[in-house]
Amino acid sequence: MLSKKWLVLAGLLVVVGILFTACQPKTVVETVVVTVEKEGTPIVITATPAPTEEATPEPTGETEKVGGPGDVYRIAVLSDMTTQNVWAAYDPDASIWNYAVYGSKWPSAYGLSTHRWDFVPGIAADNPSDLEQEGDFWVCTVPLRDDVKWSDGTPITAEDWAWTAQTVLTLDLSGNWEAYDGDYLDHIEAVDAHTAKLYYHTKPGLARHQYGVLMSPILNKAFWEPKVAPLLDEYAAIADMDHDSDDFQAKREAIVQKLYQLDPTGEPSGGAWQFSQWEKGAYSEISAVDSYYDKGLKVTEYANGALKEAWPGGREWGFGDQSGDVSAEYTEGPWFNSVVFSIYNADAALLALEAGEVDFILTPNGLSRGQVDQVSGNPGISTAQNPANGFRYMAFNFNVKPLDDIAVRQAIDCMIDKTFLTQNLLQGAAIPVNTIVPEGNSYWYNPNVPLFCDGLSAKDRLEKAVGMLKDAGYTWDKEPTWNESRGGSVDWGEGMKMPDGSPVPQMELLAPSAGYDPLRATAGVYIEQWINQLGIPCKANLTNFNNILDAVFGGGDWDMYILGWGVSAFPDYACDFFYTDAGFNVGHYSNPTFDKMCDEFYAETDMEKARDESFKIQETLATELPYIYLFTTPMWDAWDNNTVIYPFTDINDGIGSGGYGLQNYVQAVQ
């Protein structure tokens, strides 16, 4: 099962997530903490992946290849892990490379299913109870399974969960530990070994409850308590100090740093894999936990959206009408005795795959199209393409006239032909996007948002856009027109005037340079032309990525920019980006009606109601266009089809999404 990810600004200006909670392998994105990085790797979001149109099927010979048990699953990674300490791994050392090696070590009560990313139990025995008010608290009871054990044979209990939460809350840990959000969660009580009761002092919505605490990591109390107790005693000695004082914060931080340095050697695993060895700078290895409680779990997905989980002992769980066509079926392992993560640079990793030295290449951004072309003629290597879980977009500064006018934004959107941009100009290296929730996140994705001029010809787009502007009171010294005499082209507008008669000022569109991202650079050049055709004077400035960050997020002057986000499983980021005065609302969009929608969405605890609210939010944003969504990019993966076989390859953000590379489900070719 998937666990969680968090939001991070990174190289695309992407929100990336790698929250290491693990119910079983994989990840889920959750808006927990935001970190700004100058360079990074996108991984960040959710529910059912859309079918992959261009996935390359595994080559087959005279007989279809079948999978089964194997010895070593060999993964090429591009960087080394940095820590084995779980406390550090969720905060300063959070990275895909740590996550890939031991992300499934720590269980959680719930997570997301590996393929479709449905909300499913992890070590929970069933669904959580509804939140109910009890005195000053909002409470929820979670039943835990009685068959789940740590790798040392001791049971995983509610006491482990309660102790983990209390330690995080007491020390006020940051980073991805903020999933245990002290602004909402007061404490967790172990009613008995297999019943946990959550106490919230403030009623939480889905982001803090289902996609927050319920998916947070659970640590082994018996192992960690003796190591952490002295640090908690140190904290108790300063607890009465003014928590806002610099002295208190310095002392607390010193304690936290000691926590991050604790020796994790011998820590039991609560998942499918146990850490084995680490040769720094060369490789790391994990070994299968033979007693893993979910080994042999059979997952059946139905075309109608239902799901069934069946364990070898006869236990079953699921939802929906479990009948009709089966869309996917797979059985959890681990199927290999161990996984070895060997460090290569990108070129060497591809050569190692071609030479049969590794089975799979784990890359945060997927392989480049050039790398895919390099191996495409090799019958022993299969490739698959999936949509990245994010989008590139163009943003407007609402403090700049006339960009604050919805008619101008809609007219510009009308002129941008995304199909022509992605298929003709970008030669199929990008996939059009129309809303803030990626299509692969099918539960939350609204396929019916308003589209301006979708499917129209260039002539019709121009005439429609000009009509929008004229209706809003804009005029020109020379109105844009379609010129048939030149074979069909635009006579650009000149001298455009705003409704108050003042001239439309010169505009600048910031976009990454071709050396950094040729896709966004190309998009910037053509969008510049489409905007100028309307008579809006615009110049594309293809510049250094950091220059854009400094201008946009550093409080500089800007009109429009093109960047990208990778996003989380739960789409509350749509509100985080555009709520009035929110930290990421750098374009200064403000709409009280939208804010009210977000207030309701943030507070909602019912999945179906939240989905309806998310659809309304997407419709509003697609209408008012603080962003114009442009495209996303394919995630290409490659593997040795003579050695490994995957139960499915159509998965949002690619086979390696979240770092696991389906390591609980991959089998050896027999």
DSSP, residue by residue, 150-197 = -TTSPBP-HHHHHHHHHHHHHHT--GGGGGS-TTTEEEEEEEETTEEE
**Over residues 339-361, mean pLDDT:** 96
Return the pLDDT at 63.
Answer: 60
Structural contact between residues 607 and 110, judged by C-beta atoms closer than 8 angstroms: no
Return the pLDDT at 50.
Answer: 34
Percentage of the chain exceeding pLDDT 70 = 90
pLDDT band at 618 (very low <50, low <70, confident <90, very high): very high
Q: What is the gyration radius of the CA atoms in the chain, in angstroms?
A: 26
Return the pLDDT at 366.
Answer: 85
Residue 44: other Cβ atoms inside 10 A: 33
- C-alpha 106/C-alpha 98 separation (Å) is 13
- C-alpha 27/C-alpha 25 separation (Å) is 7
- C-alpha 334/C-alpha 338 separation (Å) is 9
- pLDDT tens digits for range 519-553: 999 999 999 999 999 999 999 999 998 899 999 98
Convert 355-371 to b/e letters by CB count within 10 Å (16 or more is b).
Answer: eeebbbbbbbbbbebeb
**Phi (first) and psi of residue 475, to 5 degrees:** -135, 170
Mean pLDDT is lowest, of 202-206, 403-407, 643-647, 652-656, for 652-656
Structural contact between residues 577 and 564, judged by C-beta atoms closer than 8 angstroms: no
pLDDT at 664 over 80: yes
Superfamily of domain 390-632: Dipeptide-binding Protein; Domain 3 (3.10.105.10)
Helix (H, G, I), strand (E, B) or coil at 227: helix
Structural contact between residues 267 and 164, judged by C-beta atoms closer than 8 angstroms: no
Structural contact between residues 307 and 301, judged by C-beta atoms closer than 8 angstroms: yes
Return the pLDDT at 402.
Answer: 98
Structural contact between residues 436 and 392, judged by C-beta atoms closer than 8 angstroms: no
DSSP 502: P
For the chain, the structural domain boundaries read: 390-632
pLDDT band at 634 (very low <50, low <70, confident <90, very high): confident
**Over residues 12-21, mean pLDDT:** 34
Q: At what angle do helices 406-415 and 458-471 cross, to 10 degrees?
A: 170
Stronger pLDDT, 554 or 413, i.e. the higher one: 413
pLDDT at 599 over 80: yes
Whole-prediction pTM? 0.80
- C-alpha 309/C-alpha 42 separation (Å) is 30
Return the pLDDT at 1.
Answer: 58
pLDDT band at 206 (very low <50, low <70, confident <90, very high): very high
Percentage of the chain exceeding pLDDT 90 = 76
pLDDT at 209 over 60: yes
**Over residues 460-485, mean pLDDT:** 96
